[in-house]
Each structure stands twice: as C-alpha cells, then as structure tokens.
Amino acid sequence: MTAIRLDAVVRTFGSVRAVDAISATIAEGELFTLLGPSGCGKTTLLRMIAGFSDVESGSIWFGDQRIDQVPAHRRNVGMVFQSYAVFPNLTVEQNVAYGLRARRVSRRDIRDRVAEALALVQLPAHNTRWPHELSGGQLQRVAIARCLVIKPAVLLFDEPLSNLDAQLRMHMRVEIRRLQKSLGLTAIYVTHDQEEALAISDRIAVLRDGRIEQVGTPETIYRAPQTAFVAEFMGSTNIILGVAAGFDGSATTVAAGGAMFQVRGRAGAPGAKVLLSIRPETMRLAGCPDAGGPTLAVRLQLREFLGPLLRLHAALPDGTPIRVVTLGGQGAQPAADGTLNLIYDPGQIIAYPAP
C-alpha cells in the first residue's frame, strides 16, 4: 500500500489557477474522493497525480518517493476514465493484457494475470468477447481489470460512472468499493455526484475554485459543513438569510423568512446577518410520534410522493421557499388555509456569517 502526499501543488491555465496551492495527505489503503462542481480543479489535480499534467510548483509524493518529475509510465498508477478507453479492435483478454505486453511480461504470466484480473471484476467467461458485445457496466469492468492487472501502487478514477444509468451506477460503485477494500489499494476518486462520494469514500475533499474548501469523513462533511458552500453543495439544504436577534445563553434567536428560528449556541452578535442551513430531513411534521422542539408555520405549496419519501415544497411567511423531506407514509395535513406546522431541532441548524 502507498500513501500519497500533495504539497502546495499549483497548475495554471493562462490567468486561471486551476489548482491553487493544494496540500493533502491520503493514507495507505484509503479511498479519497475529490468532489466539486465543474471547473473546480478536481480532474486537473488527478491528471497531475497521474503524470498527464505538469506540476508548476509544489510536489507530489508516493510514500517517501517524489514522483511529480517522474514520467507517467513509470509512476505505477492505474487510471480508470469516464470514457472506458477500451480498444474496440481488441478482445477483452487482449485489452486487459495490453499493459502487460507493453511491459514485456512473459506470455505465461500474462495469461495467469489476465485471468486473475477478470475474475476480480467478475468477467471470467468474457475473455474472448469484443467490446461491442458488452454493456456499459461490463466495459467499465474491463477498464478496471486493465488497471488491476499491472498491480498498481495507486488507483485513480476520473468520474468512471458518469456514462452509466442510475441503477447501474449504484451497482458499480459498490463493486469499485469492494475491490478497493479487498485489495487494500490507495485510491483517489473524482466525481461531481454527492451521493456517490458519500457512499464510497473514506474521506472527501470538497473543492471550489482550485482550492480545498473542507476535508473530512462523509458524515462530517454532511453533518458539520464548515462553510455555506459545502452545506449547499453537499446534498440538499435550505439556505435562508436571517438576522441574529438575541442570545439567551444556550440558543440564538434568528429572524429569517418572516419567522423566528432558534439556533443552538451563539450564531452572531445582535443585528449580524447570518445564513441558516437547514437540511430538509431534519424537520418533522407536527403530530409525528418522534417530533419535539420549536414549531414553525409554513404554507404548503407542492407535494412530491417518491415512494419511501415524501418531499414537501413550502414557503415561509415572507414567501421564502423551504423544502422538507419525510418518510412517505407520513401524510401532510395542512390547515384549511394551507398552513402546515413543522417541528425542528435547534441543534440541527447551522449558522454561517452572511457575505
């Protein structure tokens, strides 16, 4: 297993700093995800680690070896691309063996190692098939097998599931995680899909404009985002502008959306503008068995039944939109005027200084 260290790495394109002095350490055997919107620098950073993009300043280390000046083909890195990058004129077996032939591995070892790699990705009987005979999920498995067969020190994934349908994405991310854990490989995974990042990662780095906004476990990133950007990008949340009205020693009263919210702890001096982040699933309908806490009156505008979940679109007294997610079996029963009472936990609301 190999640890990875990034020390203040920089990459610019003209006047744009695509990667802006990023530093991070990825532990041995860790699956570390680079998450962020398009243009935040995550793929550029991955390509720098792979050796496909130059490091202008800073350094990249695999263990105690500095590798940013080592050619890509000598870094012992396996990279899985979004586009599969499978050769259409080669069979599955020939595709997987390609890297070994380039390394002049013996024919016998190639046969054994290809068979082992195809077994790992659950395609042992597909060795003689052609790429056009395979599904998207099978093609991605071939691409992964081609990386595993060279026995890389590090695995890199560049949005590998973006071309698959939703159900197959869920299946393949489980398979990728299973393989990475069973082989103990250090992996860096790039995605813009928050659910994907939460599902497979040991830790996540949220990137914004070429910099790391926050690093942490999926639970920490989701439940304790350090900035409003991370809170809003990492899943669904309600961001509401308010003004701190007072502090009673345990909670701050915040006027927002024409209502008064209680926020645990000190959220700002009286009169300070704040942004409240309220996850839709942290609110409950009044009358639910486990509901308890301050009450908030909203006006129900739309219901979306999603099977196990019910999504409610409502509005605060001044018209500010607010979303609520409850279990699908919990029916929303608004009053005759459309008013719906919600109960929330002040400890589940996070307040940030307003820009």
DSSP string, 9-36: EEEEETTEEEEEEEEEEE-TT-EEEEE-
Query: What angle do helix axes 136-148 and 166-183 make, rounded to 10 degrees?
Result: 20
> How far is CA 255 from each of CA 207, 242, 283, rounded to the nearest angstrom?
31, 5, 18
| pLDDT at res. 306 | 87
313 strand-pairing partners = 302, 323
339-343 and 284-285 strand pairing: antiparallel
Distance CA 160, CA 96 (A): 17
* Burial classification of residue 64, based on how many CB atoms lie within 10 Å of its CB (0-12 exposed, 13-18 middle, 19 or more buried): exposed
The residue written with tokens 């069979």 in the block is 91
| pLDDT at res. 334 | 72
What DSSP element (H or E) covers 49? helix 42-50
* pLDDT beneath 50, residues of the chain: none
| Rama region for 9: left / alpha / beta (φ>0; ψ in -120 to 50; rest) | beta
Token code pair at residue 9: 């790495």
Q: Could you tell me which CATH number the domain at 238-353 has?
A: 2.40.50.140
Distance CA 8, CA 35 (A): 18
State the greatest distance between any 2 C-alpha atoms of the chain, in Å, as a whole number: 79
**Long-range CB contacts for residues 220-225, cutoff 8 Å, separation at least 24:** 222/198, 224/350, 225/277, 225/350
In eight-state DSSP terms, residue 231 is H
DSSP, collapsed to helix, strand or coil, labels residue 322 as: strand
Specify whether the CB–CB gap between 216 and 230 falls below 8 A: no
Intervals of CATH 2.40.50.140 along the chain:
238-353
Query: Which residues are CB-contacts of 138 (< 8 A; sequence separation ≥ 6)?
Result: 123, 126
What DSSP element (H or E) covers 200? helix 194-200
| pLDDT at res. 290 | 57
Distance CA 3, CA 12 (A): 26
* Planar angle of CA 215, 220, 225, nearest 5 degrees: 75
Intervals of CATH 3.40.50.300 along the chain:
4-233
Sign of CA dihedral 23, 153, 184, 199: positive
Distance CA 254, CA 7 (A): 41
| Domain boundaries 4-233, CATH class | alpha beta
C-alpha atoms less than 13 angstroms from C-alpha of 297 in its C-beta half-sphere: 8
| pLDDT at res. 289 | 52
Taking only the tens place, the pLDDT of each residue in 85-128 is: 889 999 999 999 998 988 888 989 999 999 999 999 989 989 89
